[in-house]
Amino acid sequence: MRPLNKGNTPTDATGNVIAPTDYKNWRKALIERIGYYCVYCNQPLSHSLQVEHVVPKNPPPGYTAGDPIAWSNMLLACGPCNNAKSNNPVDANIYYLPEEHNTHLPFSIVLSINPDHAIVAAKAVPDVLAAQQQKAEDTIDLLELDNIDERPAIVDIRSLKRKAAMLSVQSARQVYDMAVASPTYNANVVATDIARRAADSGFFSLWYEEFMNEPLVMERLTDNTIIQGTATNCFDPANGYKPIPRNPANIADPI
C-alpha cells in the first residue's frame, strides 16, 4: 500500500482554515491532497468515493470516538474498504495505517488461488519480523484486503482491479525494456510515462516492486507533482528511492 503524507488543514484564498459543516465537504480537498484513490487498497476511484473517518465516530463501547468532522480524521476510501473497516476500533499500534507507517513495506500483492484475482498478503518472515507479519495480517483482516467476492451481484471488485493492475505493470515493464534498448531512448520521458500509467492504474505497491531497481522511475512514482500525496520520507533519494522505514526511532517496529 502507498504511504501517505499527513496533510495540513486546507485554507481558503485568504488563508483562513476551512471548516465545513458536513464531513463530506472535505471530498474536494482530499482529492486535491491524495488523488482519487482509496487510501487502503489503492484502487482508483471514479465514483462512490467515500470520505472516511480514520478513527470511527461511533466506535464500540470503551473506545474513544474519532472527531466527526476534523480534517485530521478524514481520508478517502472505496466502499468495500470503508464497509469492512466500519466502526472497528483503529489503532496505529495494532494496524498499519497509511499516514503513520511506510505501508509499502509489510504487504505484498499476490495472485489468489483463482488467478483472475489478486489479493493482499502479509510479507513473509524473514522479510519482516513475526510481530510485523501479524500486524499486517490483522490489517488485511480489518480491511478484507484478501476478499474475493464471488457472488453474482458482485460488489467488491478490488481483487479484479488488482489483477488488471498486475497486467498493466507487466506490459509497462516490457515497454520499458524495449525503450531502454532503443536508440532514441529518453530516460526522463520513459520514467514519467510509467508514473502516469501508475497514476491511472493505482495499486502503487505493484509499481514500486517492479521498478524498485530503476531509480529514475522510482523518483517519478513518488513525485507528488505526478501522483500527489505520497509520503516521500518513506523513500530514500540517497539509495535510488528505495522504500525505507518511516519510524526509525521505534526499535520494536520501525515500519
**Interface residue list for Zn ion (CB under 5 A):** 38, 40-41, 78, 81
115 Cβ neighbours under 8 A, 6+ residues apart: 163
Which CB, 157 or 216, lies closer to Zn ion?
A: 157
Residue 199 Cβ, how far from Zn ion at the closest point, in Å? 17
Residue 79 Cβ, how far from Zn ion at the closest point, in Å? 8
Residue 72 Cβ, how far from Zn ion at the closest point, in Å? 20
CB distance 194 to 156 below 8 Å: no
Which CB, 168 or 176, lies closer to Zn ion?
A: 168
Which CB, 2 or 246, lies closer to Zn ion?
A: 2
Which CB, 38 or 142, lies closer to Zn ion?
A: 38
CB distance 36 to 49 below 8 Å: yes
- Residue 100 DSSP symbol: T
C-alpha cell at 28: 474536494
Residue 57 Cβ, how far from Zn ion at the closest point, in Å? 19
* Phi, psi dihedrals of residue 198, rounded to the nearest 5°: -65, -40
- Give dist(CA 159, CA 165) in Å, integer: 10
Residue 37 Cβ, how far from Zn ion at the closest point, in Å? 8
210 Cβ neighbours under 8 A, 6+ residues apart: 169, 170, 172, 173
CB distance 75 to 39 below 8 Å: yes
3 state SS of 244: coil
Which CB, 38 or 195, lies closer to Zn ion?
A: 38
Residue 187 Cβ, how far from Zn ion at the closest point, in Å? 33
Which CB, 83 or 247, lies closer to Zn ion?
A: 83
CB distance 77 to 98 below 8 Å: no
